[in-house]
A = this chain, B = another copy of it.
């Protein structure tokens, strides 16, 4: 197959070392415990290069030795595993009803997971202030543990451009918020100490799937976020699909049926108007509306699950219909992007027992590729903190691409 490259970049020996460092780091992450000889044998790098890189990685505490092992042919070898204990990254998410903070070390171990109730205010500035307070607390906690923070990435349920600004986030009522810049300012410009970036919630959730999910490592993978908004994070050939303005994956307002219900965006029959959590709650629990506007839908979700388990025919029928619409939405992504796996999160995951069978049927009928190109449609197992976890993962990208942390 052909691959087009836009701007080939000149390479020098420094780049080679960075690239090879990334190869070694990744090999240890995936195959640990492993010996220097294993790495040389499996990566094709020569032993001298490997041991020079490994010494450097040990010196910077990105990799550590676990002592000898005898369980092998030939003389015992010193085994290596990821260390990265002195390093951590922070991921955050702004949701319609809560703020989430997750920190992981380089090996992906969770250092903290905080969730804090939050009501979107009309003033993004207030949100930034709360966010900065949480971030400072998380960073302080990490520093107390003698760890260096490598980066902080915030996920937002809306459009995020390449500067980390948010042109539009409907569920937050935001327009043109320079989030990355404002957060950096509120944190007293921590860069270059640790870079602060902002990304779309679905992109970060896809990143978390790609690294920590049940189909981790699948190069063509989509994560569909479920909640007030519905978004797609697309990983294609191992890269996040961003688009020219970083606005790719906006599936929430694709029309499924021009005769469908009116959407919050003003259009008719959008994906969100059929399968977004508010639409599902309204449809399956007609009395919900009477209780006034709902931001935190957890009680509704519990009731729907309970009724479905009891076999309530109306709720079951409603879920089947929602599942069909979900399958229709997924078929749009499948025909255009051809992933190997689509993972659904949020309320789609919570209700997957009832949503996925009809969704798979509808998908098979609508996908142009025979057998939907062998696509697998599954529920995500990452839970409500997927996006924040993806943010922390994203903040480790520089190290994983072979660059060394600042001293």
Q: How many residues does chain A have at the interface if contact means C-beta atoms less than 8 Å apart?
A: 85
CB-nearest residue of chain B to A5? B238
Q: Decide if B254 touches A332 in the complex (CB within 8 Å).
A: yes
CB distance from A47 to the nearest CB of B (A): 13
Residues of B within 8 A of A236 (CB): 236, 241-243, 248
Distance, CA A12 to CA B11, complexed state (A): 11
Q: Which residues from 27 to 54 on chain A have a C-beta closer than 8 Å to any C-beta of chain B? A: 43-45
Any B CB within 8 A of the CB of A210: yes
CB distance from A230 to the nearest CB of B (A): 12
Binary B-proximity of A193-205 (CB < 8 A = 1, otherwise 0): 0000101000100
Any B CB within 8 A of the CB of A401: yes
9-residue interface stretch from A80-88, A103-111, A369-377, A378-386? A369-377
Residues of B within 8 A of A162 (CB): 1
Number of copies of this protein chain within its complex: 2
Q: Decide if A242 touches B237 in the complex (CB within 8 Å).
A: yes
Binary B-proximity of A1-25 (CB < 8 A = 1, otherwise 0): 1111111111111011001101100
Residues of A within 8 A of B (CB): 1-13, 15-16, 19-20, 22-23, 26, 43-45, 153, 159, 162, 167-168, 197, 199, 203, 207, 210, 217-220, 232, 234-255, 257-259, 265, 267, 328, 332-333, 335-340, 366, 368-370, 373-375, 394, 397, 401-402
Task: Given contacts A10-B44, A246-B338, A254-B332, list 20 more A-B pairs with CB under 8 A.
Answer: A2-B197, A2-B199, A2-B397, A3-B240, A4-B239, A4-B240, A6-B237, A8-B402, A11-B15, A11-B19, A167-B370, A218-B244, A236-B242, A237-B239, A243-B373, A244-B374, A244-B375, A245-B340, A333-B336, A336-B337
